[in-house]
Amino acid sequence: MSKEDLRNNDMMARLMDALEKHQDIGHYGRLVFTMIGRHFLDDDELVELLKCCPNFDERQARGLVQQVKQRDYNPPRPQKIREWQRQQGFEICPTNDPDGCNVYRNLKFPDGIYENINEYHEEKAEAEQEQQQMFQ
């Protein structure tokens, strides 16, 4: 997987273009870029791009990459990206298209990501069912 693979998604292409132009993509832009980019780029490539963000040095970039990897964050859902976008100046999503932030639409992630998501939804459904049974 590579940078070119990431460019298949308009949002990720937008973030990469902004970084390559040394624009500030904001805290959540960096977080989104790292959560998704780590599945396509090696750590050094990711750090090189992140440190293009003004006032974000190599130490901070490596720290962010390490944090995201340690916590094994899944790529965020479009709703979460839009929520984060409202909290900063840089627009992460390139359009108002509901699929504009949907990285699952046109990026292929490792199978483990899809398994984690399915497991999460199964656990959530079980918890909701148990809670409903408690109130019946």
pLDDT digits (tens, 9 = 90+) for 32-50: 999 999 999 999 999 999 9
* Number of other CB atoms surrounding residue 46 within 10 Å: 21
**What average pLDDT does this structure show over 11-16?**
94
For residues 73 and 77, what is the distance between their CA atoms, to the nearest angstrom?
11
Q: CA 78, CA 32: separation in Å to the nearest integer?
A: 11
Q: Region 92-112: what's the mean pLDDT? A: 80
Q: What is the pLDDT of residue 121?
A: 47
d(CA 19, CA 54): 9
Domain regions of the chain by residue span:
3-108
Q: Name the pTM for this structure.
A: 0.80
Phi, psi of 92, rounded to the nearest 5 degrees = -70, -45
pLDDT band at 2 (very low <50, low <70, confident <90, very high): confident
**24 against 134, higher pLDDT:** 24
Question: What does the alpha-carbon distance between residue 65 and residue 135 come to, in Å, rounded to a whole number?
Answer: 43
pLDDT tens-digit series, residues 35-93: 999 999 999 999 999 999 999 999 999 999 999 999 988 899 889 999 999 999 999 99
The predicted structure's pLDDT at residue 125: 65
